[in-house]
Amino acid sequence: MKVLLPLFAVIALVVLAVVGVKGAHLNGLFGIVIPYAAFVIFLGGMIARVTGWARSPVPFKIPSTCGQQKSLPWIKADNLESPHNTAGVIGRMALEVLFFRSLFRNTQADYRGGDQKLTYGSEKFLWAAGLAFHWTFLYIFLRHLRFFLEPIPFFVPFLEGLDGLLQIGVPRLFMTDLVILAAVTFLVVRRLMLPQVRYISLPADYFPLFLILGIAISGILMRYFIKVDLVGVKALTMSLVTLSPRVPEGPIGSVFYVHLFLISVLFAYFPFSKLVHMGGVFLSPTRNQANNSREVRHVNPWNYPVKHFTYEEYEDEFREVMIGAGLPVDKQADTPAETAE
């Protein structure tokens, strides 16, 4: 159920786009309204999420480290594993964002050998597949700029040339197409095969994977198998980004609309799902703080100014009542203490 629900959801989205364009001819809806709406939701949603996190106080200094903190000069500190200044934090964060350094340390517990002993071993496949997936996604994203920029900047043909370097078939096979399919498939299969991972996987874990798989497959279909009118596609995308939206006259092909609709869903879904880690990784307190609690005192921003009510103030308020009840007071009413003696 946890797997089938998101799978059917993605299939339903595909069917919806096909029916909407082929059956109901809602090209304007699927080509203009939904992409615009999705983009606005994405941009606004991401900004809302990030400012939401930025409004949350971080009460404690909680960097998660695995190296020696900077302390005495003769103790060798590791500024990358336990950064004590901004440079160290940036270095560690850059390695985390670009190369998933913490995931590289991933381990897996398993029963191994004849006596089925519990063994902990290094597990690099998740790191490798994750890295391959994220980098190819970025590569493909940049390659798609040829549909959104006019004139096309120099690096886009360069990326395409590098991607099609093997010159297999016509049009040239893009290596990233194969890599992203393999990587996403691995990530799905891993969730299904490992009992522990399957146990903790939710529909929200499968849905983005199936959605991205759908996007990749529809894109691959368009490039290699069911050709579409690419000039029409670019006319549409350029009309969107120049804010003069217009669906071109000729038929483009419904695979394109499926592709576009799934991407729109991905964009709109992005800020409200686990995918928001694109922004969230930068705001992880365990990663973006310097481990300098011995150098700088971390003041809890929760520490609001506490309202005091001292005994002096108490007596000032109730002095007359206290005197009237015969209670001892430090200061007499309207009379300096000395003269009262």
Partner 1 sequence: MMLYDAGKIIAGLVIFAAFFTVPFWYGGGKTSEMPKLELTAQARQAGQCVEPKERMRQDHMQLLDDWRDAAVRDGNRTYTSSTGKSYTVSLQNTCMDCHSNKDKFCDRCHGYMGVSQLYCWDCHLDPTEEKTVWASTDGNS
303: contact with partner 1 by CB under 8 A: no
Candidate segments 14-22, 123-131, 238-246, 330-338, binder of partner 1 by CB under 8 A: 238-246
Q: With left for phi above 0 and alpha for psi between -120 and 50, is residue 332 left, alpha or beta?
A: beta
Asked if residue 227 binds partner 1 (CB under 8 A), the reply is: yes
| Nearest distance from C-beta of residue 253 to partner 1, angstroms | 7
Closest contact distance (angstroms) between CB of 225 and partner 1 is: 10
Among 229, 276, 318, 322, binds partner 1 (CB under 8 A): 229
Decide if 274 contacts 25 (C-beta within 8 A): no
Contacts of 112 by beta carbon, 8 Å cutoff, 6+ apart? 119, 121
Site track 93-132 with partner 1 (rule: CB under 8 A), x = hit: ----------------------------------------
Three-class secondary structure of residue 121 per DSSP: strand
In the block, which residue shows the tokens 């007499």? 332
Binding mask 40-79 for partner 1 (x = CB under 8 A): --xx--xx--xx--xxxxx---------------------
Task: Establish if 32 lies at the interface with partner 1 (CB under 8 A).
Answer: no
Stretch that binds partner 1, among 14-22, 28-36, 120-128, 225-233 (CB under 8 A): 225-233
What are the C-alpha distances in Å from 271 to residues 104, 108, 115, 255, 335?
26, 30, 47, 26, 67
User: Which residue of 73, 199, 244, 305 would you call a contact of partner 1, by CB under 8 A?
Assistant: 244
Q: CA nearest 223: which of 181, 268, 265, 266? A: 181
CB-CB contact of 21 with 257 (8 Å): yes
Q: Is 146 in the site for partner 1 (CB under 8 A)?
A: yes
DSSP letter (8 states) at residue 27: H
Q: For 73, which DSSP code?
A: T
Rounded-to-integer distance, Cα 224 and Cα 138, Å: 21
The span of 20-28, 69-77, 115-123, 236-244 binding partner 1 (CB under 8 A) equals 236-244
Helix (H, G, I), strand (E, B) or coil at 110: strand
3-class secondary-structure state, position 117: strand
Q: Is 234 in the site for partner 1 (CB under 8 A)?
A: yes
CA-CA distance, 257 to 53, in Å (whole number)?
35
List 61, 124, 134, 172, residue binding partner 1 (CB under 8 A): 172
How many angstroms separate the Cα of 128 from the Cα of each of 22, 80, 142? 40, 22, 21
Closest by Cα among 101, 97, 99, 119 to 109: 119
We find the least distance from the C-beta atom of residue 233 to partner 1, in angstroms, to be: 9
Site string for partner 1, 256-295 (x = CB under 8 A): -----------------------x--x-------------
Cβ-based nearer residue to partner 1, 104 or 224: 224
Q: Is the peptide bond before 203 cis (omega within 30 degrees of 0)?
A: no
Q: Which stretch binds partner 1 (CB under 8 A): 23-31, 91-99, 115-123, 249-257?
A: 249-257
Specify the residue, 162 or 202, whose C-beta has the smaller distance to partner 1: 162
Applying CB under 8 A, the residues found at the interface with partner 1 are 42-43, 46-47, 50-51, 54-58, 145-146, 148-150, 152, 156-157, 160-161, 164, 170-172, 227-231, 234-235, 237-239, 241-244, 248, 250-251, 253, 279, 282, 301
